């Protein structure tokens, strides 16, 4: 990673360890962000840590996920977030102000700084040359309290861009091509850095689309250089002083280099049910599309919205297709309203939703039964849309808008020359819906709704651990599988006992009841267990049910960290041992404290009367966290 932009930023923020890939490092965090789906728990954890005020340069609490207020739960959480933010020195972005990643890019992101967010798509900030990393809420709470963020030092893979994009080919197609080549596991343990002559042709919003979906690679983060295009964007946002030029050295050494000729790309589509199942749109032309949804933190910028408006102007949405559009921020929505683009969308028959995550997180707009939904989003995991049998595809706003008019998959290149969309020299700036915190020392009452329940914890790790296998699942299990999203579940995010009733509901509806009946147990998983969202509820809710361990062939980065944070053993097993394990097997580990410290556990299968070895790939600090029974216990025992 010598001479890379990533190395420069990591080195400038390194407070513990050495920049050796795979070794744990501690980073100083400049900024944090939370969103309301994960934020309530993050601030409860900050309160539990006991500092009087955040110690970052800047922290922002956003409300963008749970905005469908079917009952008082979400509104109560929002009031809690507003008051706790005021007390602890955190800016508060009100409901309706926009999606956290879009707004942070517009109003707060700074090239060369570090950003830790309780959302897996925090690497969106890499579009501006900022190192954004997604993490569980507890890690973000610790960073707000002034602690370093600990992570295995990633290796750096370079993506060299050459050439220029053709008509109707977009940044979304670039990241879909990267996913097609590397797969959803290709970024694990890696930081993806974009460079080369093709970078100059991409605006900051286009770059942010690419870094946003880098999360689907399993990457620690993704980043672009900070160059003249970055300066233009920041100047248009009235933030000229935030710009600094940043780039890799000419002789930068990457672990590997992937070269993409932008001129050779064509419009691409990710097919159900994985972002890496990518094919050219030409293979799908003519197939019906029941629903089109445009927006999300991936593709809701002013540039994207204006392009959609150009496609829709003078046309009508097909009678057989529903089209929804979610602008990414109040800034974008206001500018669309003033320049007439919003009127074009409405005239075409689009349903314009508020500036929020909306359908991407399953918060409304579930497709029809067995429907085909084409979305400009970042994830198409099975059931995430709210309709279990839906077939969800991912594509660029260009492909989405074209399909909405045609009622079927269509190639936008058939529309003729693509419109040229220029970013404004000055965006409309109105920060009135971003509330600054109260002055330090002010008397602020924190308001807690009745749905907010305490954080689940457990005691120190017992030296003898025994558990029954409650469930066995396959590869690429997502956090959506473990703790579902959507309108039914998100209002319960601050109520772990209630949300825990739905753990693994889509796979095994009886799991939660069985776990409680048996007093807990373990889960066996395949490769890449826990991919997807950063939601720590996928660890907290199993903890509430008594889950003591997960035995898997491999883990997704954020989920593994969340398991450690909440004292659940992340045991890595090989293929043969995975195959041999069955639901109902009773497993026992003797000398668990020593096993965590050594990194190797001998697991006795009492049911089958045989033993096998499992790995605990932990840093010395993580071992101490597990021994203590989780991060909160560990923090209380030590100094930040």
Instruction: Catalytic residue, from 226, 533, 534, 554: name it.
Output: 533
Run of H or E including 207: helix 204-213
Residue 453 three-state SS: coil
How are strands ordered across the β-sheet holding 434-435? 131-134, 114-117, 31-35, 58-62, 91-93, 434-435
The residues, ordered by sequence, that sit 6+ positions from 439 with a Cβ below 8 Å of its Cβ are none
Active-site residue, 119 included: yes
- The answer to whether 64 is a known catalytic residue is yes
Q: Which of 235, 60, 27 is nearest to 149 (CA)?
A: 27
The catalytic residue among 101, 303, 384, 535 is 535
SS3 117: strand
Alpha-carbon span 303 to 396, nearest angstrom = 12
Q: Is 533 annotated as catalytic?
A: yes
Catalytic hit among 13, 101, 121, 379: 379
Strand partners, 374: 292, 393
Among candidates 526, 414, 408, 420, which has minimal Cα distance to 478?
A: 526
What DSSP assignment string belongs to 400-440? Answer: HHHHHHHSB---GGGG-SPPP-PPPSS-----TTEEPPPPT
Marked catalytic residue, from 36, 77, 119, 344: 119
- Tell me which residue of 373, 390, 393, 267 sits closest to 323, measured CA to CA: 373
Give the H or E element holding residue 204: helix 204-213
- The question of whether 535 is a catalytic residue gets the answer yes
Q: Which of 36, 64, 77, 304 is catalytic?
A: 64
Angle at 542 between CA 541 and CA 544, to 5 degrees: 65
> DSSP 3-state assignment of 500?
helix
Looking at residue 191, what DSSP letter applies? E
> Which positions are annotated as active-site residues?
64-65, 119, 379, 533, 535
């Amino acid at each position: 990673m010598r001479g890379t932009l990533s190395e420069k930023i990591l080195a400038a923020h390194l407070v513990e360890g050495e920049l050796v890939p795979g070794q744990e490092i501690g980073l100083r965090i400049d900024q944090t962000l939370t969103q309301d789906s994960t934020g309530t728990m993050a601030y409860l954890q900050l309160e539990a840590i006991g500092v009087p005020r955040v110690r970052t340069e800047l922290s922002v609490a956003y409300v963008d996920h749970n905005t469908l207020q079917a009952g008082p739960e979400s509104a109560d959480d929002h009031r809690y977030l507003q008051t706790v933010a005021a007390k602890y020195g955190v800016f508060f972005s009100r409901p309706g102000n926009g999606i956290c990643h879009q707004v942070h890019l517009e109003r707060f992101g700074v090239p060369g700084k570090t950003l830790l967010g309780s959302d897996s798509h925090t690497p969106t900030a890499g579009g501006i040359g900022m190192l954004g990393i997604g993490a569980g809420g507890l890690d973000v709470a610790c960073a707000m309290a002034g602690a370093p963020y600990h992570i295995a030092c990633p290796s750096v893979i370079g993506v060299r861009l050459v050439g220029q994009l053709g008509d109707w080919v977009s940044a979304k197609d670039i990241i879909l091509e990267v996913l097609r080549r590397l797969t959803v596991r290709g970024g694990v343990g890696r930081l993806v850095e974009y460079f080369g002559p093709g970078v100059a042709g991409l605006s900051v919003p286009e770059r942010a689309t690419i870094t946003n979906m880098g999360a689907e690679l399993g990457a620690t983060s993704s980043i672009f250089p900070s160059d003249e295009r970055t300066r233009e964007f920041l100047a248009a946002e009235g933030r000229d002083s935030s710009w600094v030029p940043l780039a890799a050295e000419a002789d930068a050494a990457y672990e590997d280099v992937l070269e993409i000729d932008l001129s050779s790309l064509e419009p691409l589509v990710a097919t159900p049910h994985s972002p890496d199942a990518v094919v050219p749109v030409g293979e799908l032309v003519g197939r019906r599309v029941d629903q089109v949804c445009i927006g999300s933190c991936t593709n809701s910028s002013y540039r994207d919205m204006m392009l959609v408006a150009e496609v829709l102007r003078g046309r009508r949405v097909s009678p057989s297709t529903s089209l929804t559009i979610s602008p990414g921020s109040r800034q974008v929505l206001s500018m669309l309203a003033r320049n007439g683009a919003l009127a074009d969308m409405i005239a075409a028959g689009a349903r314009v939703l508020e500036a929020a995550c909306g359908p991407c997180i399953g918060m409304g707009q579930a497709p029809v039964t067995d429907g085909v939904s084409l979305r400009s989003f970042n994830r198409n995991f099975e059931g995430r849309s709210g309709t279990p049998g839906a077939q969800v595809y991912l594509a660029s706003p260009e492909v989405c808008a074209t399909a909405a008019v045609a009622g079927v998959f269509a190639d936008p290149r058939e529309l003729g020359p693509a419109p040229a969309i220029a970013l404004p020299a000055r965006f409309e700036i109105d920060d009135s819906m971003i509330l600054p915190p109260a002055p330090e020392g002010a008397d602020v009452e924190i308001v807690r709704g009745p749905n907010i329940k305490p954080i689940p914890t457990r005691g120190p790790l017992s030296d003898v651990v025994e558990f029954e296998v409650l469930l066995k699942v396959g590869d690429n299990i997502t956090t959506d599988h473990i703790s579902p999203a959507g309108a039914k579940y998100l209002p319960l995010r601050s109520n772990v006992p209630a949300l825990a009733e739905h753990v693994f509901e889509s796979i095994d509806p009886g799991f939660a009841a069985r776990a409680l009946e048996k007093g807990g147990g373990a889960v066996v998983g395949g490769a890449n267990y826990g991919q997807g969202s950063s939601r720590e509820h996928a660890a907290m809710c199993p903890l509430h049910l008594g889950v003591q361990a997960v035995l898997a062939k491999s883990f997704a980065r954020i989920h593994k960290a969340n398991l450690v944070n909440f004292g659940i053993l992340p045991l890595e097993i090989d293929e043969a041992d995975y195959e041999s394990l069955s639901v109902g097997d009773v497993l026992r580990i003797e000398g668990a404290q020593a096993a965590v410290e050594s990194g190797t556990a001998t697991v006795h299968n009492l049911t089958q009367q045989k033993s096998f070895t499992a790995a605990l790939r932990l840093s010395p600090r993580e071992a101490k966290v597990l021994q203590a029974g989780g991060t909160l216990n560990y923090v209380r025992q030590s100094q930040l």
